[in-house]
Structure 1
Amino acid sequence: MKNKIIKIIALTLLVSIAIPSCKKYVDGPRFSLLTKKARLAGDWKIESVTTNGNDQTASYKALVGDNYIFTIDKDEKYKVTGNFPDDGTYKWGEDKDDVYFTSNVAGSKEQACRILRLKSKELWLRTTAFNGDMTITKYKQ
């Protein structure tokens, strides 16, 4: 009986140590049964935009339009609808912490995005401009 209790305690400790290590992105999720590719794919709408901590949501939504949708496919293609339509391809960074979008419309220019959160219905991307401005765009499905 005592041996069984020790095994249960050891297993509980092992699981409690292993589960936090499943967290890949700064803001989550802690654990997911879906692949990163499956979670990234979908039709994304802007929830909020901040640049250097300042809320830019209203002005950004006015710029891109009410019909803005960022569609990401599992076959590593994307499409943007709204005031500035775009399409192209994407690829994962080495550790899948980053995703790189290459536009067909903007002269094959690549945009690096750091993934801060990647859930099935929630995506947070951080981009850094040439002048050092950091923008965090939060999307919802």
Structure 2
Amino acid sequence: MTQSTTTENPVLTACKNGIAAWQSAFNNQDAKGCAAQYQQNCIMTARLFGVFEGREAIEAFWQGIMDQGFKDVDYTDVTWEAEGDNGYILTSSWTMNKAFGVVHRELWVVEADGKARLASDEFEVQGER
């Protein structure tokens, strides 16, 4: 019998559901849906673009990216590291139809409603495709 029969940590499951919801919203060109995956006062650092604080600024950033035709985000080399009792840090590589880069550090935290949202997000565009 393998260890894969153990159930996954519910905090990790919530965090994975959060990134899946963000990815789905982005791929459906739904900037408001993307922003809903961030805590109200989240700080997002998008290297080469700047720092965006709060859902409204984050939504406007993602809407601008979508308006430029960016879509079809996919994540590879994803790692999750526990952070405290109710969060995980995600790092990964990512690709889109017109760019690629890395997620340096996304802190997903499970909130009172049981959903994980981004408390902080730091990513980088490394090139065009």
Q: Same fold by TM (over 0.5)?
A: no
Structure possessing the higher relative contact order (Cα contacts under 8 Å, 6 or more residues apart):
2
TM-score normalized with structure 1 length: 0.38
TM-score normalized with structure 2 length: 0.41
Structure of greater Rg: 1
Tell me which protein shows more helix as a share of its residues: 2
